[in-house]
Structure 1
């Protein structure tokens, strides 16, 4: 479903060009949940930004279902709205919107009717266990509830790929486990691929596979078999 070939990304610091990614290549199948692991500075966020078409200053090629993704701003914006979903560590919900409105927002941007916006948003809130909180604004929800709203928002327009950046970093162990299980189950059910950057070994253990980065290079590309307890 997703292929990335010979991805390179350099940042300019004064007169020096500093490599953040160096010839990183890989492939991910539909419905797979992949953990992107590595120490701080290894290139995880950079690779997420590249795969999510948020950073176009890279060399190499990204293919979605065999089709090369365009770097043209308008086409990239269209792909982000229609093919991609995003989940962030700090939730990034719109504070003046309630949960239902936050989830429906991608559908509004894509021109769906108000009836469809409400129907699909209510359906997604139900799937993440928050239908009864549809009228609650983010500041009245717990961190775990906010992240579940963010998951529903990321999936409501049925994207092929969801990019998640440290989605459990702000959550306690039990809430993190619930959030990961929701992501994994919905991803498999909807055949949506997740690429998840994480420092949390427990989260990585519940993903289908792990990609490890070290100093901007692919360090390991293997199945994740080890089970790590969520107990604190």
Structure 2
């Protein structure tokens, strides 16, 4: 599904060069739920940003379903809209949009007509247990409900890959477990791959496999991830 080979990412900090990622290489299969772990500063967010096409200032090679990642900005933007979904720690819902409108927004960006936008948004909100909240605004929902809206938004256009950054960090244990179960269930149903940066042992223990980064290098991998020379 996703292959990344010899990924390097360097930043300039004054007169110094800081290495965020150093020769990170591996493959992830379709439909897997991967926990990307490591301490702060280990390179997790950098790798997420690269795999999510939010940062293209890297060297190395990434292929997605056998095709190279797009390099031009317009092609990268189209790829993000059509193939990728994103889930964030702080939910990142638009406060002036209802739950249904937030979920439908990726469909709007992809040119889906208004009737289908609402139908598909309501259908996936029902899947995440929020069918009665479709016309509620984010500030009337609990944190767990907002994160379920964010999951629905990430999956409504059936992306091949979902990038998630600390999706359970601000949730209590009961709500976090519900969200983890939901992500895993829907991801496996749809054949969607999840790559999840997390410090949360609840999240990591429930994923299919774990990749650990340390100081920008691949420190350990829970098998059977294929690591290439």
User: TM (normalized to structure 2)?
Assistant: 0.97
User: Hey, what does 2:204 align to over in structure 1?
Assistant: 204
What does the per-residue CA deviation read over 1:73-110, in whole Å, with 9 as the maximum and x for residues that have no partner? 00000000000000000000000000000000000010
Q: Which runs of 4+ in 1 moved over 3 A?
A: none
CA distance in 2, matches of 1:21, 1:34: 18
3-state SS of paired residue (1:169): coil
3-state SS of paired residue (2:4): strand
User: Hey, what does 1:182 align to over in structure 2?
Assistant: 182
Q: 1:194 aligned to 2:202?
A: no
Shift of 1:115: 1.2
3-state SS of paired residue (1:8): strand
**Is this contact kept in 2: 1:22–1:216, CA < 8 A?**
yes
Question: Which blocks of at least 5 consecutive residues in structure 1 are unaligned?
Answer: 225-232
What does the per-residue CA deviation read over 1:155-197, in whole Å, with 9 as the maximum and x for residues that have no partner? 0000000000000001000000000100001000000000000
Q: 1:222 aligned to 2:199?
A: no
**Is this contact kept in 2: 1:208–1:223, CA < 8 A?**
no
User: Hey, what does 2:131 align to over in structure 1?
Assistant: 131
User: Hey, what does 1:110 align to over in structure 2?
Assistant: 110
**Is this contact kept in 2: 1:4–1:27, CA < 8 A?**
yes
CA distance in 1, matches of 2:27, 2:99: 34
CA distance in 1, matches of 2:208, 2:164: 15
User: Hey, what does 1:61 align to over in structure 2?
Assistant: 61
3-state SS of paired residue (1:91): coil
CA distance in 1, matches of 2:128, 2:218: 34
User: Hey, what does 1:20 align to over in structure 2?
Assistant: 20
1:44-193 map, 5 Å: 44-193=44-193
CA distance in 1, matches of 2:26, 2:78: 24
CA distance in 2, matches of 1:12, 1:153: 35
CA distance in 2, matches of 1:127, 1:2: 27
Q: CA RMSD in A?
A: 0.8
3-state SS of paired residue (1:189): helix
Shift of 1:201: 1.0
CA distance in 2, matches of 1:171, 1:209: 22
Aligned length: 224
3-state SS of paired residue (1:36): strand
CA distance in 1, matches of 2:103, 2:223: 33
3-state SS of paired residue (2:85): strand
